[in-house]
Structure 1
Amino acid sequence: MGAYHGPSSLTPGARGLREPSGRRLGEEAVATAELIVVPAVAVDRRGVRLGRGGGSYDRALARVAEDVLTVALLHDGELIDAVPDEPHDRRVRAVITPSGGLVMLPA
């Protein structure tokens, strides 16, 4: 993770996504964030997030305080009733969908 200094500071990253080009802040920097936005395949109404199975986001979310707003970006229809969860899974506090906007989930 690097510091964001506006659109001109972004360059293509290893996975084709644009990312900050400056000094890397290290894995622990996520713990200082006030807002965390994560991708998801689906999220249930308890905030359990289904990803792609690598666990990277769960490991990052484990370093974030519980009062930090964590939001998953979803397509319509991906906020569902139940997602299987495991002990290492970290819940999100809200989702954003195109038609529903920001939806806060129970803490």
Structure 2
Amino acid sequence: MHDIASKTGLRAELLGRRAAMPPEARSAAGRSIRDALLSVPEVEMAGTIAAYVSIGTEPDTRSLLFALWKRGTYVLLPRLLPDGDLDWASYEGPDSLVPGPRGCPEPSEPPRGPGAVGSADVVLAPAVAVDRTGMRLGRGGGSYDRALARVGPAILTVALLYDAELVPNLPSEPHDQRVRAAVTPSEGLVRLG
């Protein structure tokens, strides 16, 4: 058990590293992550995938979302609720995204409720870092911890990371939810736990 200050400092350090990456390196990483995920058996077979629209310096998900949608996968994307929880709605292509709270693009389709994430066959989650046990360090709002708590134990939950963000261990708190895998540009899908 570590304190919140250590998580805050680590988060700031890792986000600083992301910001220092050249845009071309971030683009190349996003393409590698997309290609690795599209070949994962659970992703290939999934009828429904809960994903997210990357913002800022996060590994790019836009081409991944488009590729999943074009191949007929039902893609759910989050809509941030006023209490910080996540509602979910379907992605109907790049033109279906509208500006949401805090500048996060979100789907314009009707909301399906916070529990909709529980119907996904695969859940892709943003993270600042993940350790080898699956402990995930997010942005600190707790939105994805709440969403991941609604996902069954047999569902593949995957954090999308840059190479240096899969680390030996992370500080954690009781409410933190683990992911079952991470995907990085160099390693592809890494199963954790």
Q: Same fold per TM (> 0.5)?
A: yes
Amino acid at match of 1:13: G
- CA-based RMSD: 1.3
Alignment of 1:1-40 (within 5 A): 1-40=88-127
After TM superposition, the structure 1 stretch with the greater mean CA deviation from structure 2, 5-14 or 68-77, is: 5-14
**2-structure distance, mates of 1:93, 1:70:** 5
State the SS of the aligned residue for 2:90. Answer: coil
- Pairwise CA distance, 1:105: 1.1
**1-structure distance, mates of 2:139, 2:96:** 28
Larger Cα-atom Rg: 2
Aligned to 2:151: 64
Aligned to 1:44: 131
TM-score scaled by length of structure 2: 0.52
Extract unaligned runs of 5+ from structure 2: 1-87
TM-score scaled by length of structure 1: 0.89
How many residue pairs are counted as aligned between the two chains?
Answer: 106
- Pairwise CA distance, 1:78: 0.5
**2-structure distance, mates of 1:16, 1:87:** 29
Aligned to 1:55: 142
**2-structure distance, mates of 1:67, 1:7:** 30
- Pairwise CA distance, 1:27: 0.7
- Pairwise CA distance, 1:17: 3.5
Aligned to 1:101: 188
Extract unaligned runs of 5+ from structure 1: none
The structure with more strand, counted as a fraction of residues: 1
**1-structure distance, mates of 2:110, 2:139:** 28
C-alpha offsets along residues 57-80 of structure 1, whole Å, 9 cap, x if unaligned? 101111110111100011111001
After TM superposition, the structure 1 stretch with the greater mean CA deviation from structure 2, 54-63 or 3-12, is: 3-12
The structure with more helix, counted as a fraction of residues: 2
After TM superposition, the structure 1 stretch with the greater mean CA deviation from structure 2, 59-68 or 3-12, is: 3-12
Amino acid at match of 2:181: A
**2-structure distance, mates of 1:101, 1:12:** 31
**2-structure distance, mates of 1:25, 1:64:** 15
Matched, 1:74 2:161: yes
